[in-house]
Amino acid sequence: MTPAVRRVIGPRVRDRLSAAAGAFVSNARNTDLRRAQLSFGAAWTCEWAFTVALGVYAFGHGGAAAVGLVVFLRMAPAAVVAPLVGPLADRRRRERVLCWISALRGAAIAVAALLVAAGSPSSWVYVLAVLSTVAGTLYRPVHSALLPSLCQTPYELTSANVVRAMVDSLAAVVGPLLAAVLLAGSGVTAVFAAAAAASWWSAVLIVRVRREPLVRPGSRVRAGVRAQLAGGIRAVAESRDLAVLLCLAAVQTFTRGALLVFSVVVAIDLLRMGGPGAGYLTAAFGAGAVLGSLVGAALVGTRRLAGWFGTGIALWGLPIALIGVFPSEAAALVLLAVVGVGNTMVDFAQFTLMARLATDEVMARVFILDESFTTLSLAAGSLVAPLVIAAVGLRPALIVIGMLCPLAVLAAGRRLRGLDASMVIRDRQVSLLRAVGMLRPLALPALERLARGLDPEQVAAGAVVFHQGDVGDRFYVVEDGVAEVIGDGAIIATLGPGDGFGEIALLHRVPRTATIRARTPLRLQTLTAAHFLTVVTGSPASMQHATAEADAKLRRFSPAPRPGPARPDRNAPPAPDAAQHHTSSEPGEVPEP
pLDDT band at 224 (very low <50, low <70, confident <90, very high): low
| Residues carrying CATH 1.20.1250.20, the chain | 3-206+234-431
- Of 461, 462, 489, 459, the residue nearest 477 (C-alpha): 459
| Residues carrying CATH 2.60.120.10, the chain | 437-581
Residue 228 has pLDDT above 70, yes or no: no
527 vs 328, more confident: 527
Q: pLDDT tens digits for 6-39?
A: 554 455 555 555 655 666 676 777 788 888 889 9
How far is Cα 128 from Cα 82, in angstroms, rounded to an integer? 16
How far is Cα 498 from Cα 434, in angstroms, rounded to an integer? 8
What b/e sequence results for 199-232 when a residue is b if at least 16 CB atoms lie within 10 Å of its CB, and e otherwise? bbbbbebbbebebeebbbeeeeeeeeeeebbebb
Residue 47 has pLDDT above 80, yes or no: yes
Q: What is the DSSP letter of 208?
A: T
Note whether 18 and 159 are within 8 A (CB): no
**E strand or H helix at 230:** helix 225-237
Lowest mean pLDDT among 212-226, 322-336, 434-448: 212-226
563 vs 559, more confident: 559
Q: pLDDT tens digits for 338-368?
A: 998 888 888 888 888 888 888 777 777 788 7
pLDDT band at 393 (very low <50, low <70, confident <90, very high): confident
Percentage above 70 pLDDT, the chain? 79
Residue 543 has pLDDT above 80, yes or no: no
Lowest mean pLDDT among 420-429, 471-480, 547-556: 547-556
Q: What order of strands is seen across the sheet that includes strand 500-501?
A: 455-459, 522-528, 474-480, 500-501
For residue 379, what are the contacts with CB-CB under 8 A and spacing of at least 6?
Answer: 71, 72, 74, 75, 76, 79, 257
pLDDT score at 569: 45
Residue 563 has pLDDT above 60, yes or no: no
* Helices and strands of the chain, counted as H and E runs: 18, 8
Supply the DSSP string of 54-101, one letter for each residue.
HHHHHHHHHHHHHHHHHHHHHHHHHHHHHHHHGGGGGTS-HHHHHHHH
Average pLDDT estimate for 41-57: 86
pLDDT score at 458: 93
pLDDT band at 425 (very low <50, low <70, confident <90, very high): confident
Q: Which residues pair with 483 in a beta bridge?
A: 495, 518
pLDDT score at 439: 83
pTM: 0.67
Residue 217 has pLDDT above 50, yes or no: no
Average pLDDT estimate for 327-337: 86
Amino acid identity of residue 76, one-letter, is A
Residue 267 three-state SS? helix
CATH topology of domain 437-581: Jelly Rolls (2.60.120)
The CATH number, out of the four listed (1.20.1250.20, 3.40.50.920, 2.40.50.100, 3.90.740.10), of the domain defined by the range 3-206+234-431: 1.20.1250.20
pLDDT score at 580: 38
* Burial classification of residue 584, based on how many CB atoms lie within 10 Å of its CB (0-12 exposed, 13-18 middle, 19 or more buried): middle
How far is Cα 238 from Cα 230, in angstroms, rounded to an integer? 12
**E strand or H helix at 500:** strand 500-501
pLDDT band at 477 (very low <50, low <70, confident <90, very high): very high
Q: pLDDT tens digits for 277-331?
A: 777 787 788 788 777 777 766 666 667 888 889 999 999 989 999 988 888 888 8
pLDDT score at 178: 86
Residue 581 has pLDDT above 60, yes or no: no
SS3 content of the chain, % helix, strand, coil (to 5): 70, 5, 20
Note whether 105 and 47 are within 8 A (CB): no
142 vs 213, more confident: 142
pLDDT band at 592 (very low <50, low <70, confident <90, very high): very low
Q: pLDDT tens digits for 229-273?
A: 666 677 777 788 888 998 999 999 999 888 888 888 887 777 767
φ, ψ of residue 479 to 5 degrees: the values are -90, -40
Residue 471 has pLDDT above 80, yes or no: yes
Question: How far, CA to CA in Å, does 394 sit from each of 327, 339, 555?
Answer: 10, 19, 78
pLDDT score at 568: 45
Residue 127 has pLDDT above 80, yes or no: yes
How far is Cα 40 from Cα 144, in angstroms, rounded to an integer? 10
Amino acid identity of residue 504, one-letter, is I
pLDDT score at 575: 42
pLDDT score at 199: 92
Percentage above 90 pLDDT, the chain? 15
pLDDT score at 526: 93
Q: Which residues pair with 459 in a beta bridge?
A: 522
Average predicted confidence (pLDDT) for the chain? 78
